[in-house]
Amino acid sequence: MDNGTLFIDTFFKRELIVRYLPDILSGMAVTIEIAALVVAAGISLGLALALIRSLRSRPVNALIVVFVDIARALPPLVLILIAYFGLPNVGILLPSYAVLCLVLSLLLAAFAEEIFWAGILSVRKGQWEAARSTGLTYAQTLFHVILPQAVRLMVPPLTNRTIAITKNTALGTVIGVPEILNQATTAESFSFNATPLMMGAVAYLVLFVPVVIAGRYIETRFAWRRA
């Protein structure tokens, strides 16, 4: 057997592709489902936290800062393992799927809060004062004057962070969530062949390359023209 066929047989074996395609596809469905949940929950929670922070109550803000800092400093896998193995022993039984969603949503919420807050701070104080002096309420000022101006600054980092955290759905394999990577490694150990791993990698590329390209487009679209 020459090197070419050996390579094909190792990474692109046809019968294995056919056999494991349904598994990889079901893994893709799980990955998409978790990613969608995490993005929706994480970004809305992050926005809510930033809005609460803008009320500037000292004790509440201290709590938010501690939460955000801890989430930014800890590796996601550490949090996933603590939640997955620790919670059942204190009487909270969650399926691995829920643990993954919960941890990733909280992480995204922390990063999103930080980005939203930096965006809100970036709008000059005069804008607040001017808006309030025209008779707009606090909420009206926030939603009609401040946030629209802050969006330009928030969108690029928020897209990048969202992509990075949704890619962490792959960590679910460690606690047995049947997402793409989990399906691929299971199939690999059954077939003793690297083809399923290649399929898993391709599945991630199919899902995330368009997202990365869209992210780059958004980044240039929303960038401030620097002097």
Partner 1 sequence: MEAILRQFFNAEIMAQAAPLIFRGLGMTLLVCAAVVPLGLAGGLMVALAGRARSRGVRFIVTLLVDIFRAAPPLVLLIFVHAGLPFAGLRLSPFASVCIAFFLNNSAYYGEIYRAGLDSVSAGQREAARSTGLTAWQAMAYVVIPQAVRNVLPDLVSNTVEVVKLTSLASVVALPEMLYSADMARSLTYNSSPIVLAALVYLALLWPVVRLMSRLEHRLGG
Whether 109 contacts 42, CB under 8 Å: yes
Q: For residues 70 and 62, give the distance between their C-alpha atoms in angstroms, rounded to a whole number.
A: 12
Whether 158 contacts 67, CB under 8 Å: no
Stretch that binds partner 1, among 38-46, 82-90, 93-101, 137-145 (CB under 8 A): 82-90
Taking the C-alpha atoms of 180, 184, 186 and 191 in order, what is their torsion angle to the nearest 10 degrees?
A: 160
**Using alpha carbons only, what angle is made at residue 28 by residues 8 and 163, rounded to the nearest 5 degrees?**
105
Question: Contact with partner 1 (CB under 8 A): which of 46, 97, 106, 114?
Answer: 114
Nearest to 116 by CA among 145, 138, 147, 140: 147
**Size of site (CB under 8 A) for partner 1:** 56
Question: Contact with partner 1 (CB under 8 A): which of 76, 149, 186, 222?
Answer: 76
Supply the minimum distance, in Å, between the C-beta of residue 82 and partner 1. 5
- Tell me if 89 contacts partner 1 by CB under 8 A: yes
Q: For residues 98 and 82, give the distance between their C-alpha atoms in angstroms, rounded to a whole number.
A: 14
- Tell me if 113 contacts partner 1 by CB under 8 A: no
- Tell me if 74 contacts partner 1 by CB under 8 A: yes
List of residues contacting partner 1 (CB under 8 A): 7, 10-11, 68-70, 72-79, 81-82, 85-86, 89-91, 114, 117-119, 121-122, 153, 163-164, 167-171, 173-174, 180-181, 185, 188, 193-194, 197-198, 200-201, 204-205, 207-209, 211-213, 226
